[in-house]
Amino acid sequence: MKIAFVYDVIYPYVKGGVEKRIQDIAVRLSARGHDVHIVGMKYWDGPDTVMKNGVTLHGICPAKPLYADGRRTIREAIYFSARLMPFLMREEFDVIDCQQFPYFPCFPVKFSAVIKKRPFVITWHEVWGDYWYEYLGWKGAFGKTTERLVSGFSRNIIAVSGTTAKNLRLLNVRENVVVLPNGIDVKQLKSVSPDTESSDIIFVGRLIKEKHVDILVQAFAVLLQEAPDRTLLILGDGPERDAIRNLVSDLAIEDRVKLKPFMESHDGVISRMKSSHVCVIPSTREGFGIAALEALACGLPVVTVDHPDNAICELITDDTGFSCPLSADALADVMRAALSGYPAMKTACMSLAEAYDWDIIVNRAEGYYQSLIL
């Protein structure tokens, strides 16, 4: 099969859960003999088209800033989508998998697929619904309308979690939804050694409002009142970085909190996880939560927020983690429990994570794509 994944940003030039998912599936499909392409903005020097890890990367336009005032920009999405149409009309693919966000690329993908009579898939990572109004105010009506419109573009729909599949029903998408979760390379993760520098609590992810890292810092400050030697490591970048740094300074806990950018090496992230005790991701919006799954694979219980739009909750059992309401005091309570119980939870955490090995997930993805072209 000749398969194209369409997403405006490409791993490892931009690091995030969607980018990493596409990369991991693409590399494994290529290893199985398929001709795999990733189509996005160009983040590298040199030719517009390059081969990396057996996958052809197409930089169809110069990369533009993704964020403005802490939010994904509509201008960037429209710019990429306009450049996408000529490319898709020139190229021939057996199947195209377009990521639902940022919505606008789905328009040229659908148009070209209809013209060429080729199958295409839309992979849904989240459904925002009324959250659009919280995100954009009255302008959210346009986002909500666009989301509902795109939900009817294709009968071939992948959801990355049960939570996303459930929320698609709010858009009246009730049939032909296949749940293909994110995965991990269990063998590779096991080969990584712990870092020499340890931390009690680790957060890994983009520093955006929906992750509520500010609440994590406040909760950690509560813990320090009774256990002043505790340490917190925050790994990530994003529009909230300066605000988080200022909060740490205001609370006078700079000596207990380390704020570091995303690491160049993914193994480096795993190494830091393995040298930690508990992973805390207090997000109210997660389409899946790959960092949480990786933490479980490293034997760390996961602490998160109990929210209907947080798919990390699907990974939480009595033996693998804790969830709580979104407040500093509630988060401090479950963090305290996790720090007390993490040694006994290690085996259960790792066992749950093994069910998400990429070989299992890609077997299903390969079969699904093949079914669309028969």
Residue 150 CB neighbours (<10 A): 21
Res. 61 pLDDT band, cuts 50 70 90: very high
Percent of the chain beyond pLDDT 70? Answer: 100
Q: Check residue 262 and give its pLDDT.
A: 85
The token pair at 34 is 């398929």
pLDDT per position as a tens digit, 185-199: 999 999 999 999 999
pTM, two decimal places: 0.86
Look at residue 229 and tell me whether its pLDDT is greater than 80. yes
> How much is the pLDDT for 73?
87
pLDDT value at residue 139: 86
Per DSSP, which regions of the chain are E strands?
2-6, 35-42, 49-52, 55-62, 67-68, 71-72, 95-99, 120-124, 157-159, 177-179, 199-204, 232-235, 257-260, 276-281, 302-305, 321-324
- Quickly state the pLDDT bin for 328 (edges 50, 70, 90): very high
Domains of the chain (ranges plus CATH)?
Answer: 2-183+357-373 (3.40.50.2000), 186-354 (3.40.50.2000)
pLDDT at residue 291 in the model: 94
**pLDDT band, very low/low/confident/very high, at 170 (cuts 50, 70, 90):** confident
Structure tokens at 106: 């789905």
Secondary structure string (H, E, C) spanning 306-368: CCCCEHHHHHCCCCCEEEECCCHHHHHHHHHHHHHHHHHHHHHHHHHHHCCEHHHHHHHHHHH
- pLDDT confidence bin for 21, thresholds 50/70/90: very high
When computed from its CA atoms, the radius of gyration of the chain, rounded to whole angstroms, is: 21
Predicted pLDDT of residue 67: 81
The answer, yes or no, to whether residue 176 has pLDDT greater than 90, is: no
With a cut of 90, say whether residue 131 has pLDDT above it: no
Neighbours of 322 (CB within 10 A): 22
The pLDDT score that the predictor gives to residue 137 is: 87
Flag the least confident range among 204-208, 214-218, 219-223.
Answer: 204-208
Say what the pLDDT of residue 263 is: 83
Examine residue 102 and say whether the peptide bond preceding it is cis (omega within 30 degrees of 0).
yes
| Tens of pLDDT, residues 256-269 | 999 999 887 889 99
CA–CA distance from 135 to each of 212, 296, 326 (Å)?
14, 30, 18
Please tell me the predicted confidence (pLDDT) of residue 15: 80
Euclidean distance between CA atoms 184 and 24, whole angstroms: 8
Tell me what pLDDT residue 223 has.
96
Query: CA 15, 283, 72: angle at the middle one, nearest 5?
Result: 50
What is the average pLDDT score of the chain?
A: 94
| CA atoms of 247 and 104, how far apart (whole Å) | 36
Q: Residue 85 in contact with residue 96, Cβ under 8 Å?
A: no
Asked whether residue 110 carries a pLDDT value surpassing 80, the answer given is yes
DSSP single-letter state for residue 1: -
Task: Tell me what the mean pLDDT of segment 103-130 comes to.
Answer: 95
319 or 16, which is more confident? 319
Verify cis geometry, omega within 30 degrees of 0, for the bond prior to 12: yes
Average pLDDT over residues 308-325: 96
- Give per-residue pLDDT as tens, 135-163: 888 888 999 999 999 999 999 999 999 99
Whole-angstrom distance, CA of residue 71 vs CA of residue 172 = 27
| Measured distance CA(70)–CA(243) in Å, rounded | 11
Number of residues written out for the chain: 374
CB neighbours of 200 closer than 8 A, spacing ≥ 6?
A: 230, 231, 232, 276, 277, 278, 339
- Cα 107 to chain center, whole Å? 23
Residue 349: both structure tokens together: 């955490």
Tokens of 326: 């979104």
3-state helix, strand, coil in the chain (%, to 5): 45, 20, 35
